[in-house]
């Protein structure tokens, strides 16, 4: 009997040890799938960001009463941004810590890596002319344990479907400005034909280039299928990118020769989504500049909707003109394929044969170039609609490559403005009109009841702040030079309205 009892006791001990070992193994397996990042206390000024334990991110809105540099305090330790890892702030870019091509430009968002302030981290900044709200997100989920920052000005205009000025495109040469005015721009590209999956786009720039087009000779294309994290950190998650090349603050659609079968440049937006409820009229605006070779490309509507009208205007800066038949800022109309119900538009870069983009006197990397501004109206767009730029134009069999740069994309829901005016008024209600004026002409300012004064910030086509008007209640003078300008209007409730005007 005692013998049987001992056997049973040994069995129980063995079973207990087995269960203990099994529980340890299970805990080890679970730990392998569980993050080890502990909760962080992250402060920006007097604001404490909200901690999200599911994705190890702290985020929130910080308010600044005036323009100022600032640090990110993480568990009582100050951090700044790593030099040349993003621009480090919102507003007018300072000349320190960012690629020189950005200095003096206006950005509404930045992304990059943080670094200890006592180890060379530079203060982040807000230079909007008046301070304001800044959305801040600090991401601790990266495998290298280096926190990433993302700062942005809030978008409060309900009419805007997509407002993409490509402010997060940081690397590469400046083809538009050329070497003569914008030199020594740091960039960082791998020695590969495409951006690899392990690049996230926040790596600090380390290589100095001189030529405005050097990024092209590096031949490192951006494909959303190959580098989803890089594309996400460039602000284009959900977009389709093929053979896209990066410049400072804008992108380029590129391709190879027809004989090689190289994939042609494609940029496709996400579906318009919840910004549209039912069939709507939509306005698509963007700037283009041809990259040196001549050719044609398509602008297309994918899904519901058709192009009802299209026009373009050259952006002439400080009275400078250049060759072509449209050098006086006149608005010229274009005809969609299939007429007013078509879904495609051919855009040619050779004006001498009916195209719209000027053939520059020189396509040298060092020369200054200019943008052409397009406005395309689409009828019947829905939440499923997308728009596409396709460098494989109709003349692809005879022209090797129709490469072009693209910037300042703004897609607006016109039906929201015209069909639901009462909702628009409740959001901001401020109107500036007319939209096409002469130099110095008085712009009328319409304020709804209850709003006495507003602040108005005027930006040129490059995003540079050219004028700021505080506590305005009546008409304002238009800029004294020709071109496209953006008016950002802020009400006392800090609601923003964005409007473009053309000065002829």
Interval 72-125: pLDDT, tens: 999 999 999 998 888 999 988 887 776 666 777 888 999 999 999 999 999 999
For the segment 56-70, the average pLDDT, to the nearest whole number, is 94
Q: Distance of CA 255 to CAs 158, 261, 294, Å?
A: 36, 9, 13
Grade residue 279 by pLDDT with cuts at 50, 70 and 90: very high
Mean pLDDT of the chain: 75
Longest dimension (CA), the chain: 111
Contact status, residue 244 vs residue 222, Cβ threshold 8 Å: yes
pLDDT at 63 over 80: yes
pLDDT on residue 331: 59
Q: Is pLDDT of 424 > 50?
A: no
Residue 231 has pLDDT above 50, yes or no: yes
Q: What is the pLDDT of residue 48?
A: 95
For residue 205, the tally of other CB atoms under 10 A from its CB is: 21
* Residue bearing the bigger pLDDT, 171 or 181: 171
Q: Measure the CA–CA gap between 435 and 314, rounded to whole angstroms.
A: 16
Give the CA count within 13 Å in the CB-facing half-sphere of 373.
Answer: 25
Residue 122 gets which letter from DSSP? B
Q: Quick one: what percent of the chain has pLDDT higher than 70? A: 69
Rounded distance between C-alpha atoms, residue 33 and residue 31, angstroms: 5
Long-range CB pairs of 14-20 (<8 Å, 24+ gap) are none
pLDDT tens digits, 131-180: 889 999 999 999 999 999 999 998 777 888 999 999 998 877 777 777 54
Q: Are 103 and 184 in contact (CB under 8 A)?
A: no
Count of other CB atoms within 10 angstroms of residue 476? 16
Determine the pLDDT at residue 196: 78
Rounded Cα gap, residues 192 and 430, in angstroms: 50
CATH number of 428-503: 2.60.40.1930
- Distances 139 to 40, 48, 112, 142, 239 between C-alpha atoms, Å: 11, 15, 10, 7, 22
> For 358-373, what is the mean pLDDT?
64
Q: Which of 224, 77, 97, 197 is nearest to 138 (CA)?
A: 77
pLDDT of 411:
94
> Bigger pLDDT: 473 or 110?
110
Give the integer Cα–Cα distance in Å for 246 and 56.
29
480 Ramachandran zone, left/alpha/beta (phi>0; psi -120 to 50): alpha
Strand-pairing partners, residue 126, are: 68, 90
Confidence of residue 30 (pLDDT cuts 50, 70, 90): very low
The pLDDT, as a whole number, for residue 205 is 76
Q: What is the pLDDT of residue 124?
A: 96
Statement: residue 273 has pLDDT above 90: yes
Neighbours of 69 (CB within 10 A): 14
Predicted confidence at residue 60, as pLDDT, reads 96
State the Cα–Cα distance between residues 241 and 228, nearest whole angstrom.
10
Question: What average pLDDT does this structure show over 347-367?
Answer: 54
pLDDT of 225 higher than 90: no
pLDDT band at 443 (very low <50, low <70, confident <90, very high): confident
Question: What local confidence, expressed as pLDDT, does residue 197 receive?
Answer: 82
pLDDT tops 60 at residue 31: no
Asked whether the predicted pLDDT for residue 11 surpasses 60, the reply is no
pLDDT value of position 315: 61
Q: Average pLDDT, stretch 281-309?
A: 87
CA atoms 287, 293, 294, 297: torsion sign: negative
Token pair of 221 as six digits: 């294309």
- Burial of 224 from C-beta contacts in 10 A (0-12 / 13-18 / 19+): buried
Predicted TM-score (pTM) above 0.85: no
Q: What is the pLDDT of residue 58?
A: 97
- Residue 219 in this model has a pLDDT that exceeds 90: no
- pLDDT on residue 432: 79
State yes or no: pLDDT of 270 exceeds 90.
Answer: yes
d(CA 86, CA 88): 6
Closest alpha carbon to 390 in 241, 230, 250: 241
Q: CA angle, corner 47, sides to 42 and 50, nearest 5?
A: 50
Higher pLDDT, 415 or 19: 415
Question: For position 59, what pLDDT does the model report?
Answer: 96
Say what the alpha-carbon torsion angle 391, 395, 400, 402 is, to the nearest 10 degrees. Answer: -30
Half-sphere exposure of 246 (CA within 13 A, CB side): 26
d(CA 186, CA 396): 34
Query: Which SS3 state, helix, strand or coil, does residue 384 take?
Result: coil
SS (H, E, C) 64-77: ECCCEEECEEECCE
Q: Read off the pLDDT of residues 203-212 as tens digits, 9 standing for 90 and up.
A: 887 665 544 5
For 361-374, what is the mean pLDDT?
69
Model confidence at 276: pLDDT above 60? yes
Q: DSSP string covering 260-303, please?
A: GTPPPPEEEPPP-GGG--SSEEEEEEEEEEE-SS--EEEEEEES
Do β-strands 436-437 and 496-503 pair in parallel, antiparallel, or remain unpaired? parallel
Residue 341 phi/psi, 5-degree rounding, is -115, 15
Closest listed residue to residue 400, CA positions, set 292, 500, 247? 292
SS3 content of the chain, % helix, strand, coil (to 5): 15, 40, 50
Nearest Cα residue to 395 out of 253, 258, 196: 258
Report residue 291 as tokens. Answer: 């990259």
Q: Is the pLDDT of residue 360 over 50?
A: no
Comparing C-alpha atoms, which of 413, 422, 402, 476 is closest to residue 444? Answer: 476
CA dist 59 → 75, 133, 135, 152, 496 (Å): 15, 13, 7, 11, 22
Is pLDDT above 50 for 181? no
Q: Is the pLDDT of residue 43 over 50?
A: yes
Identify the residue with better confidence: 385 or 312: 385
With vertex at residue 401, the alpha carbon angle to CA 395 and CA 402, rounded to the nearest 5 degrees, is: 75
Rg (CA), the chain: 27
């Amino acid at each position: 009997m005692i013998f049987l009892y001992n056997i049973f006791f040994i069995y129980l001990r063995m079973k207990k040890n087995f269960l203990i070992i099994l529980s340890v193994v299970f805990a080890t397996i679970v730990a392998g799938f569980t993050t080890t990042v502990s909760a962080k206390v992250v402060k920006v000024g007097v604001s404490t960001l909200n901690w999200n334990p599911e994705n190890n991110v702290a985020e929130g809105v910080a308010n600044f009463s005036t323009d100022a540099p600032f640090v990110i305090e993480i568990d009582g330790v100050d951090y700044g941004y790593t030099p040349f890892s993003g621009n480090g702030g919102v507003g007018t870019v300072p000349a320190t810590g960012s690629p020189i091509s950005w200095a003096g430009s206006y950005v509404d968002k930045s992304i990059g890596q943080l670094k200890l302030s006592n180890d060379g981290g530079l203060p982040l900044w807000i230079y909007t002319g008046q301070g304001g709200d800044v959305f801040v997100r600090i991401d601790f989920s990266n495998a290298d344990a280096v926190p990433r920052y993302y700062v942005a000005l809030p978008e409060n205009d309900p009419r805007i479907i997509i407002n993409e000025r490509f402010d997060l495109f940081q690397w590469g040469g400046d083809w538009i400005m050329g070497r003569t005015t914008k030199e020594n721009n740091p960039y960082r590209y791998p020695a590969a034909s495409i951006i690899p999956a392990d690049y996230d786009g926040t790596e600090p720039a380390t290589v100095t280039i001189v030529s405005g087009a050097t990024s092209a000779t590096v031949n490192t294309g951006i494909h959303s299928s190959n580098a989803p994290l890089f594309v996400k950190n460039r602000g284009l998650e959900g977009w389709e990118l093929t053979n896209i090349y990066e410049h400072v603050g804008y992108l380029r659609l590129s391709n190879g020769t027809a004989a090689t079968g190289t994939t042609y440049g494609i940029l496709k937006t996400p579906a318009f989504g919840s910004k549209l409820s039912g069939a709507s009229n939509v306005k698509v605006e963007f700037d283009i500049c041809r990259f040196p070779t001549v050719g044609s490309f398509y602008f297309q509507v994918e899904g519901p909707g058709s192009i009802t009208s299209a026009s373009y205007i050259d952006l002439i800066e400080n009275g400078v003109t250049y060759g072509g038949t449209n050098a006086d800022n006149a608005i010229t109309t274009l005809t969609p394929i299939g007429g007013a119900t078509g879904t495609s538009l051919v855009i040619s870069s050779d004006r001498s044969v009916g195209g719209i983009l000027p053939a520059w006197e020189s396509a040298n990397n060092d020369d200054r170039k200019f943008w052409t501004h397009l406005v395309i109206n689409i009828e019947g767009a829905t939440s499923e609609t997308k728009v596409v730029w396709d460098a494989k134009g109709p003349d692809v069999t005879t022209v090797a490559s129709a490469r072009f740069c693209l910037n300042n994309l703004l897609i607006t829901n016109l039906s929201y403005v015209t069909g639901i005016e009462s909702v628009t008024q409740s959001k901001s209600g401020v109107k500036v009109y007319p939209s096409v004026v002469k130099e110095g002409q008085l712009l009328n300012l319409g304020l709804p009841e209850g709003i006495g004064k507003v602040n108005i910030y005027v930006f040129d086509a490059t995003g540079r702040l050219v004028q700021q008007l505080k506590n305005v209640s009546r008409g304002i003078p238009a800029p004294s030079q020709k071109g496209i300008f953006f008016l950002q209007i802020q009400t006392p409730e800090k609601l923003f309205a964005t409007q473009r005007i053309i000065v002829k």
